[in-house]
Chains A and B, each alone.
Chain A
Amino acid sequence: MNKLFLWLVSLFNPVWRSIGADPKAIYLILKAKLLMDDRGGMMMGQRQKRKKGMEYMTFIFIGIFGLCLVGLFMITEHYATAVGLGFSMWVAFIGMMLITEMSENLFDQRDLYVLLSRPINDFTLSISRILHIAVFAGKFGLCLGLPTLVYLAVFAGAWPAFVYFLLSILTIVITMTGTLVFYLLLLRHVDSAKLKKIVGYFQIVATFFFFIAYQLPSLIGDVKVLQNIVVVGKPLGFTFPGLWLGGLYEAMTTTTASPLAYAQGLLALIAAGTGLWFYIRQSRGYADRLLQLRVAGAENAAEPQGTTSTSGSKSPVRDFLAGWLTRPNQERVSFRFHWNVMLRDMGFKQRTYPSLVYLPVILVITIFRDAFMGEEEFSLGDGMMLMLLYFLLWILLIPLGQTKYSENYRSSWIFEATANPYPNRIYYGQFMAVLGMFYLPMALLIYTAVLIYWGPSHWIDILLAMGTTLLFTLVYNQTDKDAPFSRSKEDAKFGNIGPFLLVAFLGSIFGFGHWALQLFPYVLMAATVVVWCVLLGWIWYLRRDTNGGAAAGTW
């Protein structure tokens, strides 16, 4: 697939040349980057295995989602509206993917000295970066768009299908430039030392908004409302970039397009053109700024410094929880180590925090949807309570999954090279650190809310949900064993998918099972006792003083 994208990129060589970039250098840089994407990193002389399976599975899921978008053509006969709504989903989905997975590539400084010591200008550098990101977005676009493309080719003809293909590229351009131009602006105007932090927090906030946009259609509830809906060519069609593309589709495929549709189409072209122009304009000085970013806060302390903004060590909350949850052996070492890294590693935050945003959004939308639609009075039943209780599984699994990945995965050689006879204590400390940092604050909030809103009689539900959540998180941690922060961040691109699917599956199973248990007297109590016995047994197993035949020192 890389060859196909490289060929597509080379088709635009005159364009790259016209804006002052070197097409040959772009081709070479992009080729090298794509090659590196496909390869795992080295650690202790061994090559890490790439988790290709997960990547393919992700593309299959996106393909299935793309297939669902064909359903829009069943709902409305107005093809331009279906295309516009489909592209609106694209913008939200690809925008979210770019922010969570790829935006840091724009700030990648690892190859900077190699590239900057060659005659490569800012435009070549920044265009090769955005094209690298475009290939990633293109793969998603291909999976999302192929079903609709086939549908249009069969039912609307070759020309509409070709227009759809062109508009797909335009959608990616609009989404990419819309997202990345902001980063370039930051790069130009924000102090290098603060930039990474600001980008990190922007990612979290932007993901939140993209995800809300992505979830908005679910507020509609009944799809019948959409029956024969026409948005494109109407004033509502100006509200979201995806709908502008619908306008362009109508303008290019029919002779009866309304002036508003033409205006929306024009808006799409202007958005793409302006985005590209602005991106290229902001590229001036890109290399210098990246260089400053590399220098900021690194390798500049030949002499001891009096004060430093990147201070560590002091954390009363960490120390209190460590003392409370762990024993003073490898458990505590692991707890404190995980706590420190989770708190300081921006890569961890960028991968974890946006993912944590998803479920609260779904929860809020689910809770308020009916009231919002005016279908019924606002009320919360027992089902919602269980959903809330099992939502905490998400809060544990996502960060725990991410404690296995790191940009500095090579540093984990220390776990291989040292003689730790109790690897389980490291897992225990890891689990407790995640529990202390993410689960405890949220659990306090949710359990208090449940006790207040649904009543104290639901303490048994809380106890069972808590036990089940903790138990299955331990099971997950045991089945996906590895030394802490020992996997390449490249493999983390789809690292949340596994826990996501697990949570989606287990959450519904547990919730349903829990609800079913409520129907029988005393069974809930018995289940709680069983779950807690297994949980405490498991914890005892992890914490025991002998390693009990565990493969000591092996991860």
Chain B
Amino acid sequence: MSIIKISNLQKAYGSKSVLRGIDLSVEAGQIIGYIGPNGAGKSTTIRILAGLDKNYTGDVEVLGFDVKKDPMEVKRRIGYIPEAAEIYEMLTPKEFYELVGGLQDLPWETTQKRASRLQEYLDLKYSPDQRIDTFSKGMKQKVLLISGLLHDPDLIFLDEPLAGLDANSVIRVKDLLQQLTERGKTIFYSSHIMEVVEKISDRIILLNDGKIAANGTFAEINAQAHSGSLETLFSQLTGGSAARTDFDFTADE
């Protein structure tokens, strides 16, 4: 069953076209690696899918709901963890979970139980009354991740979820994502860390210049390009060229 259906999605900021007719269908229970160069339109696509941006043309359905018409139904069922998102740092994690859980209409007991389990799993430790503004970047990222999972969403959008995490935490998060897919959840994962995307994704979608440049498993895409690694493949498909060896930016001075 397709849980994401996108047909001819187009989006422009003023006269600048960002998404130029995307067609996409995603099955449940997969980890989708959504990659592309800076400015390709990845975060814009995710914002549209999460029901946060209605200014687009085309048809977008998430979990059977039209995101333009029923953004509430979509938001109820998805988790959204934006890139470098700010959180209310003067709150304690518990207070922040209370806010997010409350907004998702979760009973406080459920919020507490789930947050506590996720914290334990991600090895997030702090003193009971400690505020988020005293946390390290990695600890804040864990709080953000947990807050996005509290309502046990069926589809999770993650935009650079590993930013700021140390090596051990990266392993934990990767494991967590695998376990979520085993429970039937779908992960829509955007990142610039090709190594991780290559390893954890069941399917990779490469966006370039507002269009889908590649779509399939790593093996399928690699079979066409014979590149060996996702990094090289990425470079080939997005027009990246090898660095000039004679480059000197002060040459004419």
Contacts and interface: CB of A to CB of B under 8 A. Distances in A.
Interface stretch (B42-50, B176-184, B192-200, B226-234): B42-50
Interface string B102-146: 111100100000000000000001111111011111110000000
Interface string A289-318: 000000001111110111110111110000
B21 interface: no
Contact of B72 (A328, A329, A411, A553): A553
B103 A419 contact: yes
B134 A408 contact: no
B63 interface: no
Contacts of B89: 408, 411
A313 B128 contact: yes
Contacts of B137: 299
Contact of A337 (B47, B76, B99): B99
B213 interface: no
B43 A45 contact: yes
Query: Chain A at the B interface: mostly helix, strand, loop or mixed?
Result: loop
B99 A553 contact: no
B98 A308 contact: no
Contacts of B104: 418-420
Contacts of B85: 410-411, 413
A269 B163 CA distance: 55
A212 B77 CA distance: 56
B11 to A, nearest CB: 10
Contacts, number: 142
A485 B86 CA distance: 13
A300 B139 CA distance: 11
B5 to A, nearest CB: 20
B76 A419 contact: yes
Contacts of B128: 313
Nearest to A551: B72
A414 B104 CA distance: 10
B82 interface: yes
B166 to A, nearest CB: 9
Contacts of B102: 329-330, 332-334
B87 A411 contact: yes
Contact of B125 (A304, A334, A410): A304
A104 to B, nearest CB: 16
A313 B134 contact: no
B211 interface: no
A345 B75 contact: no
Contacts of B127: 304-308
B202 interface: no
A310 to B, nearest CB: 5
Contact of B90 (A345, A416, A420): A345
A344 interface: yes
B6 to A, nearest CB: 18
Contacts of A305: 126-127, 130, 134
A330 B101 CA distance: 9
A299 B130 CA distance: 13
A404 interface: no
A341 B90 contact: yes
Among B90, B125, B128, the one with the most A-chain Cβ atoms within 10 Å of its Cβ is B90
A301 B125 CA distance: 11
Contacts of A336: 95, 98
B80 interface: yes
Nearest to B108: A328
Contact of B88 (A297, A298, A300, A341): A341
B171 interface: no
Given A330-B105, A340-B91, A419-B75, A297 B52 contact: no
Contacts of A299: 135-137
Given A341-B91, A416-B52, A419-B76, A312 B103 contact: no
B105 A308 contact: no
B100 interface: yes
B133 A44 contact: no
A84 B47 CA distance: 58
B10 interface: no
Interface residues of B, number: 49
A147 interface: no
B160 interface: no
Given A411-B88, A414-B103, A420-B104, A45 B133 contact: no
Given A312-B95, A341-B88, A297 B103 contact: no
Contacts of A300: 134, 136
A552 interface: yes
A50 B148 CA distance: 30
A308 B130 contact: yes
A553 B94 CA distance: 23
Given A308-B127, A420-B105, A333 B98 contact: yes
Contacts of B50: 417
A298 B105 contact: no
Nearest to B134: A301
A311 B133 CA distance: 10
Contact of B130 (A311, A337, A419, A485): A311
B44 to A, nearest CB: 7
A331 B104 CA distance: 13
Contact of A45 (B53, B75, B76, B126): B53
Contact of B52 (A44, A314, A333): A44
B71 interface: yes
B30 interface: no
A40 interface: no
B208 interface: no
Given A414-B87, A419-B105, A308 B131 contact: yes
Contacts of A304: 125-127, 130
B66 to A, nearest CB: 15
B92 interface: yes
A151 interface: no
Contacts of B88: 337, 341, 408, 411, 414, 485
Nearest to B135: A301
A532 interface: no
29 contacts: A44-B53, A297-B134, A301-B139, A305-B126, A307-B127, A308-B130, A308-B131, A308-B134, A310-B90, A310-B131, A310-B134, A311-B129, A313-B94, A313-B95, A313-B129, A333-B99, A333-B101, A337-B99, A340-B90, A345-B90, A408-B88, A411-B86, A413-B86, A414-B87, A414-B100, A419-B105, A420-B103, A421-B72, A553-B72
Please give me the 3 A-B residue pairs with the lowest Cβ-Cβ distance, nearest first. Answer: A333-B102, A419-B75, A311-B129
Given A302-B136, A414-B147, A417-B82, 16 more contacts: A45-B43, A301-B135, A306-B127, A307-B127, A308-B129, A308-B130, A310-B131, A310-B133, A311-B130, A410-B86, A413-B82, A417-B80, A419-B72, A421-B72, A421-B105, A485-B88
